[in-house]
Amino acid sequence: MINEATKRMLELDQLLGMAADFTVSPAGRRLVERHSPSTDGSRVQAWLEETEEAARLLALGSSVPLSAMEGIDLIVSLLGKGKVYAEQELHQLGVWLASVAHMKRYMESKRDVAPRIASYADSMDDCPELRKELARCLRGNQLMDEASAELGRIRRQLYALEAKIEKKLEQAMGKYKSALQESIISKRRGHYVIAVKRELRKQVPGTVWDESASGQTLFVEPVDVAGLQQEWDSWKADEEQECYTIKAQLSAMAEARTTELAWNVDAMGSFDFITARGKLSRTYNGQRPKLSSEPVIRLRGAKHPLLPSEHCVPLDIEMGYDWKQLIITGPNTGGKTVALKTAGLLVLLHQAGFLIPAEATSELGLFHCLMADLGDGQNIEQSLSTFSAHMTNVAAMVKAADRRTLLLLDELAAGTDPGEGIALSIAVLEHLLSQGALVAATTHFNEIKRYAALTAGCMNASMSFDPETLRPLHRLIIGEAGESRAFAVARRFGLPEAIVAKAEAMASQASKNAERSLIDVSLMEAAIEANRARQPAKSADSRAKAKKQARQEQAEGGEETPAKRKSFQTGDCVWIYPLKRTGIVYQEADERGNVTVQVEGKKLSFNRKRLSLYIDRSELYPGSDYDMAIVFDSKSDRKKRHLMSRKYVKDIRIENSPDTSE
């Protein structure tokens, strides 16, 4: 299943349009327009052999004789309908049959270079009797006198009468010389006439058949010529009747060979299509890759055929051997999407029988389904947002996925909350991996890079970047994850340095906070171990189970279901989904379900739906009467509390209201 949307997205329609422009016949063009990639191995193999042979012939400078195809489709399509063809159509048919004979001789001479397509010419029939009869009867668009004995006799009479008429006219011009506007003989309305001045018309007896635009000249048929003209008209009618008889006979001969002529049209159309494929393949130096029985991709030196070759960096892309998923990362404008499109388009071209712009050592299998989700996917007509359109495509991919499916996903986790998008993306990738589908995807998120690094059957790849020139190198490096390089790209495109520098500082702080969050978790785990030495032994199994559940929920990025949710106690360590880090419950849930949590010394309010238990307070503190002020108060607040416990001190207060709400 390769739908039309995917073909357009990967620009196969543009390549087929270019191939159509190389055809010289309507039959060949129709074959291109109806052409579609195949999943049948023997058919694809035959197409590739045809295209390779055609390209080889073209490389030798050989010109396939297809120039006489124009207009022949219509002529052959009217066979069997009793049509009597005009001289021009019969001449065109004769020229085309001559080109069929030429094609047969040409292909026979090229059998050693192109054995497969040469064999197709063996079934063509140049209808020698018809071809020779057309050649005998016609010269250009005119029937020859030799077309029949009767036509020859009639035309001899016409030639004799025309000579007599011309002689009579010359005598009339001498006789009426003073009345003539000029001494010429012409023909008007089928009659021979001389040019007479209007004012001297009565001096020349005869019939006026026309006049000049000014009206000063009359074209008169002299009375001496009228009798000969009538005799000529009679013989001319006989000629027309005989010509019709000959054309009818020739048309009947053609109709008797309808089957052969129709087959020739189809065969010549196929030659036209094959030649067009060869011509297009030569425009990008196409090569024929090895056709694998397995659904694999190994592209060496691959280029996108629609990009200028001199500016296109060759790509090496491999999937289906040691890994089924390729996660491509790297800077914006670095070529990630082009890499996806190149892989997808070359697979389509290969299965459509075209040579591909890659080295001959490349290897491609056949895919029964190819689907792509590229770009923002915005669908205004259907009122689908970017993310909705993306999910619609992904849902279709999940449904179609199997081992002979190739899926291309651009910008995983884009268009929605990053945490939820990342979780969805990883879950989808895991499912697609279990189905055996080949997946090439691009992303900027470290979590997805980490998934690729830790998951068997997945591989990271990156688009290279020159840190000195701040420019992408557009090379795909398999085996290492890349960086987005957003700040370098922003500088390159002219964003003010002050803005970029501030952004870098903010990003650096965010990175430190993330590291601090990891340290917090490590410290809490160390506290648990220390506390266990001071507490009666708990069930190791129950502790492990609770910890595993909390970590699983954290990894999935999801939220507890109402059935699992509990009332958090002051001192519990909880996972905060919006912040993707831990905190300590400072104040238990109010009537609206809002819980106050301390995070890095700040009191923040979150709805309990946004929290899950990470470590129970019983595993963190020595006993139920543990002084929580040690955990929640700052050093200065503890001093204040100590003073206030001893005596009243004016203007000293401790404020513990939440800093912000969720």
Per-domain boundaries in the chain: 19-127+257-283, 148-227, 290-492, 514-661
pLDDT score for 539: 42
pLDDT score for 641: 64
- Highest mean pLDDT range out of 549-563, 585-599, 644-658? 585-599
CA distance 408 to 367: 13
Give mean pLDDT, residues 37-55.
97
- Tens of pLDDT along 600-640? 778 889 988 889 988 888 888 777 777 787 777 766 666 66
- Tens of pLDDT along 355-365? 999 999 999 99
H/E element, 454 = helix 446-454
- Tens of pLDDT along 147-168? 999 999 999 999 999 999 989 8
Angular region, 494: left φ>0, alpha ψ -120 to 50, beta rest: left
- Assign a CATH topology to domain 290-492: Rossmann fold (3.40.50)
Helix axes 41-59, 258-283, angle to 10 degrees: 70
pLDDT score for 482: 63
What are the tokens at 518? 């990891």
H/E element, 630 = helix 629-632
Res. 384: pLDDT tops 60: no
CA 455 to each of CA 118, 452, 590: distance values in angstroms, whole numbers, following the listed order: 51, 5, 42
* Contact yes or no for 69/103 (Cβ under 8 A): no
Weakest mean pLDDT among 174-183, 294-303, 501-510, 522-531: 522-531
* Contact yes or no for 155/239 (Cβ under 8 A): yes
The length of the chain, given as a count of residues? 662
Give mean pLDDT, residues 241-257.
97
Angular region, 490: left φ>0, alpha ψ -120 to 50, beta rest: alpha
Give mean pLDDT, residues 578-596.
89
| Percent of the chain at pLDDT exceeding 70 | 82
pLDDT score for 512: 53
Weakest mean pLDDT among 21-35, 181-195, 540-554, 639-653: 540-554
Res. 553: pLDDT tops 60: no
- Tens of pLDDT along 163-173? 999 898 888 88
Among 418, 599, 574, 634, which Cα is nearest to 513's?
Answer: 599
pLDDT score for 68: 66
Query: Among all chains, which residue has been given the structure tokens 């001045």?
Result: 197
* Contact yes or no for 144/155 (Cβ under 8 A): no
DSSP code per residue over 261-308: HHHHHHHHHHHHHHHHHHHHHHHTT-B--EE-SSS-EEEEEE--TTS-
First CA to last CA distance, the chain: 46
pLDDT score for 379: 43
CA distance 345 to 513: 43
* Contact yes or no for 206/225 (Cβ under 8 A): yes
> How sure is the predictor about 526, in pLDDT bands with cuts at 50, 70 and 90?
very low
* Contact yes or no for 500/360 (Cβ under 8 A): no
What are the tokens at 441? 């995807």
H/E element, 100 = helix 87-109
- Tens of pLDDT along 2-31? 888 899 999 999 999 999 999 988 899 999
For residue 176, the one-letter residue type is Y
Q: Is 184 helix (H, G, I), strand (E, B) or coil?
A: strand
pLDDT score for 179: 87
pLDDT score for 519: 46
Weakest mean pLDDT among 117-131, 509-523, 560-574: 509-523
What are the tokens at 495? 């964003």
Q: What is the CA radius of gyration of the chain?
A: 44
Query: Among all chains, which residue has been given the structure tokens 């290897």?
Result: 363
CA distance 557 to 422: 8
Give mean pLDDT, residues 325-330.
92
- 578 Cβ contact list (under 8 Å, min separation 6): 419, 606, 610, 662
The DSSP letter of residue 410 is S
Angular region, 601: left φ>0, alpha ψ -120 to 50, beta rest: left
> How sure is the predictor about 483, in pLDDT bands with cuts at 50, 70 and 90?
low
Give mean pLDDT, residues 107-125.
93
* Contact yes or no for 180/196 (Cβ under 8 A): yes
What are the tokens at 593? 């379900």
The DSSP letter of residue 201 is G
pLDDT score for 293: 95
Query: Among all chains, which residue has been given the structure tokens 């499912």?
Result: 431
Q: Is 253 helix (H, G, I), strand (E, B) or coil?
A: helix
CA distance 11 to 306: 9
**Is this model's pTM higher than 0.75 or not?**
no
pLDDT score for 662: 52
Residue 148 φ then ψ, to 5°: -155, 155
Q: Is 584 helix (H, G, I), strand (E, B) or coil?
A: strand
- Tens of pLDDT along 206-234? 899 999 999 899 999 998 888 898 999 99
pLDDT score for 378: 41
Query: Among all chains, which residue has been given the structure tokens 């912040």?
Result: 579
Q: Which residue has the higher pLDDT, 363 or 184?
A: 363
> How sure is the predictor about 62, in pLDDT bands with cuts at 50, 70 and 90?
confident
CA torsion, points 390, 394, 395, 398, in degrees to nearest 10? 180
Res. 39: pLDDT tops 80: yes
pLDDT score for 534: 46
Res. 563: pLDDT tops 50: no
* Contact yes or no for 423/292 (Cβ under 8 A): no
Q: What's the mean per-residue pLDDT of the chain?
A: 84
pLDDT score for 542: 45
Give mean pLDDT, residues 478-505.
75
Res. 258: pLDDT tops 50: yes
Give mean pLDDT, residues 341-345.
96
CA distance 583 to 512: 16
What are the tokens at 378? 């915005």
- Tens of pLDDT along 430-482? 999 999 999 999 998 888 988 998 899 999 998 887 766 657 678 898 987 76
What are the tokens at 320? 């289906």
CA distance 121 to 267: 8
pLDDT score for 537: 44
DSSP code per residue over 462-515: EEEEETTTTEEEEEEEETS-----HHHHHHHTT--HHHHHHHHHHHHHHHHHHH
